[in-house]
Amino acid sequence: METTLRVFSIFTSIQGESTYAGLPCVFVRLAGCPLACVYCDTQAARSAVGEALPISAIVQRALRGAPSLVEVTGGEPLAQPGTHALLRALADQGCRVLLETSGAFSIAAIDPRVVVIMDIKTPGSRMAHRFCAENIAVLSRPGHHHQVKFVVTDQEDFKFACQMAAQHRLADHTEMLISPVAGLDPAQVAEWILASSFPFRLQLQLHRLIWPHADRDGIER
Ligand code: SF4
């Protein structure tokens, strides 16, 4: 019997939170997440049961129109073990596949064709203790194109990001993104970056800038 996944929505929008920001992208948003970040902006998907769909149906809907970029997100996609098979199936179709994950689950067995955008939860999220420490070793594997993102709520979170970058020499092998939480002045975060010695890339949430008064999800597929 084919593996099913609980899907919250499948939609087209602009990629907003990685070095792929600005590109058209199909999003597969999976339902459910066992974390509880204080700033969670996908509460509906986090707490939803979702619609159980076979992987072949998800791929068919996502790849309608042959998009060049597909992102699997959530909720927390890796909370569902079948997500690995979905990522493989999407990559088999030849498109660039991104996975956005909280870092709470191991990324060691992710298909190597997939680009992982891993949130390293800061203390301000109240979920830093959920980080799967073995993921750091995966980031130092040669040839990967993974990215780490720190959502910062204040300067203490920024210092945490600096500590992680220094301790694990993240800049040697990984793109590092800093994303100010909604309400934190990006100009302030820019000052912190400029005063640091790390090549953080300032990441503003494009969805909020483009559609400040609308739901962040895009056109349903
Ligand atoms: S990991 Fe993501 S979906 Fe889960 S609670 Fe945190 S922000 Fe929300």
The pLDDT assigned to 103 comes to 97
Query: Mind listing the pLDDT tens digit for each residue in 74-94?
Result: 999 999 999 999 999 999 999
104 C-beta closer than 6 A to ligand 1: no
pLDDT at 220 over 90: no
What's the gap in Å between 86 CA and the centre of ligand 1?
Answer: 20
Domain ranges of the chain: 4-213
Q: Going by CA atoms, what residue is nearest to atom 6 of ligand 1?
A: 37
Give CATH for domain 4-213.
3.20.20.70
36 C-beta closer than 6 A to ligand 1: yes
The pLDDT assigned to 138 comes to 94
76 C-beta closer than 6 A to ligand 1: yes
149 C-beta closer than 6 A to ligand 1: no
Q: How much is the mean pLDDT over the chain?
A: 95
**Beta strands per DSSP E along 80-221:** 96-101, 115-119, 147-152, 175-180, 201-202, 219-220
3-state secondary structure of 72: strand
Quickly state the pLDDT bin for 33 (edges 50, 70, 90): very high
Q: Mean pLDDT throughout 115-129?
A: 98
What's the gap in Å between 29 CA and the centre of ligand 1?
Answer: 12
44 C-beta closer than 6 A to ligand 1: no
The pLDDT assigned to 167 comes to 97
Residue with tokens 């919250």: 8
The pLDDT assigned to 213 comes to 76
The pLDDT assigned to 216 comes to 63
Q: Mean pLDDT throughout 100-127?
A: 97
The pLDDT assigned to 215 comes to 67
> Using CA of residue 207, residue 209, residue 215, residue 221, what is the dihedral sign?
negative
74 C-beta closer than 6 A to ligand 1: yes
Q: Going by CA atoms, what residue is nearest to atom 7 of ligand 1?
A: 40
High-pLDDT (> 70) share of the chain, %: 99
Query: Mind listing the pLDDT tens digit for each residue in 52-68?
Result: 999 999 999 999 988 99
The pLDDT assigned to 205 comes to 86
pLDDT at 212 over 90: no
Quickly state the pLDDT bin for 17 (edges 50, 70, 90): confident
Residue 37 neighbours by CB under 8 Å, 6+ apart: 102, 121, 125, 126, 127, 151
What's the gap in Å between 142 CA and the centre of ligand 1?
Answer: 29
The pLDDT assigned to 221 comes to 79
Q: What is the DSSP letter of 63?
A: T
Mutational pocket test of ligand 1: of 27, 30, 39, 40, the residue with most ligand atoms within 8 Å of the beta carbon:
40
35 C-beta closer than 6 A to ligand 1: yes
Contact (Cβ atoms closer than 8 angstroms) between residue 176 and residue 201? yes
Q: Mean pLDDT throughout 166-178?
A: 96
